[in-house]
C-alpha cells in the first residue's frame, strides 16, 4: 500500500508534523484514512526500532485512556501468571523482530550492520523493549496487532472493543 498525497496530508495532521522515515501506510480504514504506518529502521544514522507506528488520533486517544487506567500493569501480571499467554506474547516479539529484518530496506540493513546496531535490532522487540515479558507501549502493541496480529492487541479488542469502533482520524 503506497502513500497518496491525500494520505500524507492526513498523516501530517494526525501526528502534527511531516513524517520522517515513512515507508508506507500499513493499515488504513475502509475510507483510506491511515491507521498504522510502516517506518524505516534507521533515520539519519540513528536506530529507530519501531516497525509499526500508530498514527490514528482516535485510536491513540482510546489507547491512552486504557493506559491511564493502569491496564499495562494488569496485562503484565497476566503475562506472569498465564504461561500460554506469555508464550504467545514471546512469539509475537520474535515474529516482530524477524519481520522488521525482513521488511528492512537493504541500505538500512547494511548501514545498521556497519554502525554496529545489529545486536540492538535483534534484542529490541515491540515498542523497542528489551524485556520481552513486559509491555512498554499499548499504542505500538496495537499498531502491531492491526498490521500482523498480536495477543495484547487481541486482548484490547476483547476487553475494550477497539476493533468495533470506527476511526475517522
Per domain, the residue ranges of the chain are: 5-164
Contacting residues for 25 by C-beta, under 8 A, at least 6 apart = 1, 2, 3, 7, 11, 34, 36, 37, 38
Residue 34's pLDDT is: 95
**Residue 1: pLDDT over 90:** no
State what percent of residues in the chain have pLDDT above 70. Answer: 98
Residue 165's pLDDT is: 72
Beta bridge partners, 28, equal 34
Residue 32's pLDDT is: 87
Query: How many Å apart are CA 115 and CA 98, to the nearest integer?
Result: 20
In degrees and rounded to multiples of 5, residue 119 shows phi and psi of -60, -40
Pairing of strands 42-43, 34-39: unpaired
- Write the pLDDT tens digit of every residue in 87-142: 999 999 999 999 999 999 999 999 999 999 999 999 999 988 999 999 989 999 99
Per-residue DSSP letter, 44: T
Total-model pTM: 0.93
- Write the pLDDT tens digit of every residue in 68-77: 999 999 999 9
Residue 59's pLDDT is: 94
pLDDT range class, residue 2, cuts 50, 70, 90: confident
Amino acid at each position: 500500500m503506497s502513500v497518496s498525497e491525500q494520505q500524507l496530508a492526513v498523516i501530517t495532521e494526525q501526528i502534527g508534523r511531516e513524517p520522517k522515515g515513512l515507508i508506507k501506510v500499513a493499515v488504513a480504514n475502509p475510507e483510506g484514512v491511515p491507521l498504522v504506518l510502516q517506518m524505516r529502521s534507521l533515520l539519519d544514522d540513528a536506530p529507530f526500532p519501531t516497525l509499526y507506528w500508530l498514527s490514528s488520533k482516535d485510536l491513540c486517544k482510546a489507547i491512552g485512556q486504557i493506559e491511564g487506567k493502569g491496564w499495562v500493569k494488569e496485562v503484565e501480571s497476566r503475562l506472569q501468571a498465564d504461561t500460554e499467554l506469555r508464550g504467545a506474547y514471546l512469539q509475537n516479539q520474535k515474529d516482530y523482530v524477524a519481520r522488521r529484518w525482513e521488511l528492512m530496506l537493504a541500505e538500512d540493513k547494511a548501514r545498521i550492520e556497519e554502525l554496529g546496531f545489529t545486536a540492538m535490532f535483534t534484542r529490541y522487540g515491540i515498542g523497542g523493549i528489551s524485556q520481552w515479558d513486559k509491555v512498554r507501549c499499548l499504542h505500538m502493541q496495537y499498531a502491531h496487532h492491526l498490521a500482523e496480529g498480536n495477543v495484547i492487541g487481541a486482548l484490547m479488542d476483547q476487553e475494550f472493543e477497539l476493533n468495533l469502533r470506527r476511526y475517522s482520524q
